[in-house]
């Protein structure tokens, strides 16, 4: 791999690490034969703002 490839791989690794820092937890819950995925942390908050609160399902155990 040339120096350009090494730089690109390093950039991808850094981007992945920075993205993971915004994720506090991923909770998987079986629900009616399906799997509910609950993303928690700063990334979840950002996605909620972008999507609009009315499109988001309230997390389990939290009254809506």
Q: How confident is the model at residue 64 (pLDDT cuts 50, 70, 90)?
A: very low
Residue owning tokens 């998987």: 28
CB-CB contact of 35 with 29 (8 Å): yes
pLDDT at position 6 is 83
The span from the CA of 30 to the CA of 12, in Å, is 32
Closest CA to 12 of 26, 1, 27: 1
pTM for this predicted structure: 0.56
Statement: residue 59 has pLDDT above 70: no
Q: Which ranges in the chain belong to alpha helices (H)?
A: 3-21, 42-51
Please state, rounded to an integer, the average pLDDT across all residues of the chain.
83
Statement: residue 54 has pLDDT above 70: no
């Amino acid at each position: 791999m040339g120096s350009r490839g090494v730089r690109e791989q390093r950039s991808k690794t850094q981007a992945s690490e920075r993205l993971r820092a915004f994720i506090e937890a991923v909770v998987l819950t079986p629900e009616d034969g399906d799997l509910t995925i609950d993303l928690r942390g700063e990334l979840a908050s950002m996605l909620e703002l972008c999507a609009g609160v009315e499109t988001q399902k309230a997390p389990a155990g939290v009254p809506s």
